[in-house]
Amino acid sequence: MGTINVVLSTLTHEKEYMDKLREVFAPAEFIQLDASDAAGISAVLERADVALLRGDLDERYVKAPKLKWVHCDHAGLNKSARPDVFEKGLNVTSSAGRSGPALAEHCMFFMLTLAYNFPAFYEAQKRHQYGKVEGMGELKALYGRTVGILGMGHTGRELAIRAKAFNMRVLGYRRRYTELPEGVDKLYCKDKGDSIDELLKESDFIAIALPLSDATYNLIGEHELGMMKPNAIIINLGRGSIIDEDALVKALKAGRIAGAGLDTVSKEPLPPDSPLWDCPRLLITPHFTPPVPDKTDRAINVICENARRFRAGEPMLNLLTSEDVYTR
């Protein structure tokens, strides 16, 4: 059983949600502070068991004498996946999954836009030119094509369902073996000795929905891009550094792959002089996906369920493990 006596929160949700958290953590003392209140946070961390944070943790939380669990209220935890976190045995969880359906839609948007070469048609529309877009006769619909999804977490599973609704063949890759997720035709698993090679070779679309870690940093480089079909498209909704961007620029400019969609890049905001801006057949969105209407509810529900699991000594949702460590 995990005892909770004091909870520190820097969350800024509306009152109804904060009241729900106070109720869930009762009878623990629930202390709400502004994230900029360094002195107040330091004082409370001397006795806090749990911290609920808007952003990522830092060394103050690692050094806190009684802290057992930190929840970071966003998805990617690479900035919190510090080696000292695992050395201390601190439980760190996230709100991953709160935007999974929208992120999956975002990937479908990239797939459809690139498959139909919409930018070229839109430019023709602005010129009042009807038809005669170069290469239009070679375009193919999503129907019957293959999408390979790297990462079968919340977003990957939502994407598989949507891709299958388009009658696509769906391949998935994840670290640990599970039964086939809904919509997935074939699953490759790292713990079974599978690599990503076959998925890369067979797919018309590669969708990256992986977290950033030492293991996934520059996972897609020149060698991996070279395995892809010349008419394949790669999409990144994970973290920018999962793709070697220099290799991607070369592949796009040389026409070795057909296109790419990036919602995340290694340096954000993307500098004006980045070569990515001028790559052919590349779409960029600024790490922004329209939120689902129940995004906050979904995030709060993760915290509430994890509070129950923490007290009951059960495995927690979205828990960082040593496999997630990121030192770069």
Task: Write down the domain spans for the chain.
Answer: 6-98+294-324, 100-284
Check if 6-98+294-324 and 100-284 are the same fold.
yes
100-284: CATH architecture: 3-Layer(aba) Sandwich (3.40)
Residue 158 designated active-site: no
Q: State the average pLDDT over residues 63-77.
A: 96
Q: Given this model, what pLDDT does residue 131 score? A: 81
Catalytic residue among 46, 59, 268, 314: 268
Q: Given this model, what pLDDT does residue 132 score? A: 82
Sign of CA dihedral 60, 65, 71, 73: negative
Q: Encoding tokens for residue 320?
A: 């960082």
Amino acid (1-letter code) at residue 64: A
Q: Which residues contact 320 (CB under 8 A, 6 or more apart)?
A: 77, 80, 81, 85, 86, 92, 93, 94
Q: In the chain, what is the greatest distance between 2 CA atoms, to the nearest angstrom?
A: 69
Catalytic residue among 82, 239, 298, 309: 239
Enclosing H/E stretch for 94: strand 91-94
CB–CB of 108/131 below 8 Å? no
Q: Encoding tokens for residue 163?
A: 């891709």
Q: Is the per-residue pLDDT at 1 higher than 80?
A: no
**Cα 101 from Cα 168, distance rounded (Å):** 18
CATH number of 6-98+294-324: 3.40.50.720
**Cα 200 from Cα 173, distance rounded (Å):** 10
Residue 268 designated active-site: yes
Q: What is the pTM of this model?
A: 0.95
Catalytic residue among 175, 287, 305, 323: 287
137 pLDDT band, cuts 50/70/90, is very high
Residue 22 designated active-site: no
CB–CB of 152/172 below 8 Å? yes
